[in-house]
Amino acid sequence: MLEIYQRRNLILTEANPGPQVDYVVTLQSNLTGAENVFPARMTLRYVPDRLILKTDSLAEYYAEVSSIAFDSFEAAAVLLMDDFNNELVPRWISLRLDKQTADNDQVFHHETALEDRQPKWGNPRLLDRLERY
């Protein structure tokens, strides 16, 4: 397992082509790995500041995250949020991790959602247009 800075270095970024404009980037990924957490679906939304994700480079990062033994589903969501927030430093970011499990004919839906924004940043007209989780 890589150390935190090595893991985060797997998240590659590039310059935002339109830093003067507020816009939302949405990325959905199916994650596999540790049985108590994955498989799960991650939905990442962010309003870029200076950087955007190079999404075609995330496979190695996801493989590394899938090798981590998490104590809980929430711990996985917090780690993902911290990593993306640290590398992107977006104006606004939202991460949702959700999964369904079945046990004795019961289906359970488990979801964890996190959100953060830069101090003093706001664009309610933009965010109000987003579909709520």
Neighbours of 36 (CB within 10 A): 12
Which pLDDT score, from 0 to 100, does residue 45 have? 98
CATH number of this structure's domain 4-15+22-118: 3.30.1130.10
Q: Which long-range contacts (CB under 8 A, 24 or more apart) does 114-123 make?
A: 114/77, 114/78, 114/81, 116/81, 116/85, 116/92, 117/91, 117/92, 117/93, 118/49, 118/89, 118/90, 118/91, 118/92, 121/47, 121/91, 121/92, 123/22, 123/47, 123/91, 123/92
Provide the whole-model pTM.
Answer: 0.91
Which pLDDT score, from 0 to 100, does residue 34 have? 67
pLDDT, tens only, 95-127: 999 998 777 778 888 999 999 999 999 999 999
* Residue boundaries of the structural domains of the chain: 4-15+22-118
Q: Which of 99, 103, 96 is nearest to 37 (CA)?
A: 99
Which pLDDT score, from 0 to 100, does residue 96 have? 97
Which pLDDT score, from 0 to 100, does residue 133 have? 67
Spans of the chain below 50 pLDDT = none
Which pLDDT score, from 0 to 100, does residue 85 have? 98
Q: Calculate the average pLDDT of the chain.
A: 92
Query: What size, in residues, is the chain?
Result: 133
